[in-house]
Amino acid sequence: MSGIVPTTNIARANITLEIGLLKDLILIKIMQISSNLPKLIIAIPSFNDWEALHLLLLQADQINLNQNIDLEILVIDDFSTTPIPKSFITQEYQQIKLVSILRLRRNVGHQRAISVGLCYIFDNIDCDWVVVMDGDGEDNPFEIERLLVNSKKTGNNTIIFARRSKRSETKTFKFFYYLYRKIFYFLVGRETNVGNFSLVPKFLLKNIVVVSEIWNHYSSAIYRSRIPYIEVDIPRTRRLAGTPKMNLVSLITHGLSSISVYVDIVGTRLLLLIVFLLMFLLACLFIVVVIRLVTNLAIPGWATYVSGLLLISIVQLALLGTIFCIIILSARNQTNFIPIRDYKYFVDNFCTLRP
C-alpha cells in the first residue's frame, strides 16, 4: 500500500496545476487591460533549440520599433525532450514585456506547431499583430519593423510575407531547394519563395484559424485560401547556434507537405498530362496499324510488338487516370481538420516566464 499514491494527493496536484494556469491567464488579462498600447506577439515554434532561441530573443529585445508597441513572445514548445535552460528562464529584457511558453502534448512538427500557436493566440490573447518566425535566427528579427511598415501601408488588412531574396544555406541545399521550387511550379502552376516569416494583422487571424490546410503547411495554405497577402524581399541570415535541422529528408517531407495543400490541383494537372499522353499513344497505335495494313514498310513482327507495347501503356495510363480521379474526388469530399476546433487536443500547458 505504501507504493500507491492517494487519490486525494492526485486531486490536490491537479487543482494546484489548474490554479497556476489560471494565475498566468489572469496576469496576462491584467497586463492587457493596464496597457492601451497596440500589441505585437512573436510566435516562435521550437523543438530542442533553446540556445538559438535564447540568442534570438536577445536580438528581438533590441528591435528598434518606431511605433509605441507592447512586444510579447509566445514560444510554441513542440514537445521538446531537453529541459529549458535556467539562463533562458531568468533572462531579463528591456523591451519584451512578456515571454510565454505553450507546451504541446506531442511532437507535431514545425508547421502544425504554428497552427496550434495561432489558434491559441486567437482564443486566449488579445493582440494587434502576430509575427510568425523560426526560432533558429535565420529569420532576422530586425526586419520586423519593415513588415510593420508595409502592414500599415495596406491598412493592416493584409498578411505580409518575407520573400527569401537571399539564402544562407549550403550550395547542396540551395540546389535541392531550386529543384523543389521547379517541381512545385510544374505541379501547382505557381511559384513559391517564402517561408514562415510573416506578419498577420488581428483582422485576418480569424480567417486563418479556420483554414484546414495550415495543419500541413502554413504559407501554402494562405496562398490557397485566397486570404490577401503581399511579399517583401528580405534576405535570410545564418543560424545563431547549433546545427541546421533541415536535411534532404526533411526538405522532401516539407516539400510534399506544401504540395499536399494543392492535392486536387496537382491531381487534375497530372490527369490532364495522362490524357495528353493517352491521346499521343492512341495516335501512335493508329499509325502503326495503318502502316501494317496499308503499306509494305512493316518488318514482320515489328508492328505486332509495337502495338502490344502501346496497348499495355494505354491500359496503364487509363488505370492511372482513374486512380487520380478517385484521389481528387476523395480529397474534396473528406472531412477536414479544423484548427480552431481541434487544436486544444494538442495543448498540454501554458506558462509565463516573465514578469
Q: Where are the alpha helices (DSSP H) in the chain?
A: 7-34, 50-60, 86-90, 110-124, 144-153, 171-188, 202-208, 218-225, 248-260, 263-294, 302-333, 339-342
329 has pLDDT over 80: no
241 pLDDT higher than 90: no
**What's the mean pLDDT in 317-337?**
67
pLDDT digits (tens, 9 = 90+) for 204-236: 999 999 999 999 899 999 999 999 999 999 988
> In this model, does residue 75 exceed pLDDT 90?
yes
The phi, psi pair for 244, rounded to 5°, reads -60, 140
pLDDT value for 263: 80
> pLDDT tens digits, residue range 165-177?
666 666 777 787 7
pLDDT above 70: percentage of residues in the chain: 82
Average pLDDT over residues 276-283: 82
Tell me the average pLDDT of the chain: 82
Q: Say yes or no to pLDDT of 50 above 70.
A: yes
Instruction: Give this prediction's pTM.
Output: 0.79
Q: Please give the average per-residue pLDDT across 112-119, as a whole number.
A: 96
116 vs 108: CA distance, rounded Å: 10
Q: DSSP string spanning 149-216?
A: HHHHHTTS-SEEEEEESS--S-HHHHHHHHHHHHHHHHHHSS---EEEEEEEEHHHHHHHTT-GGGGT
CA 337 – CA 101 distance, rounded (Å): 24
User: Does residue 330 have a pLDDT over 60?
Assistant: yes
- Per-residue pLDDT reduced to its tens digit, 9-29: 545 545 554 555 555 656 555
Q: For the residues 262-267, what does the mean pLDDT come to?
A: 81
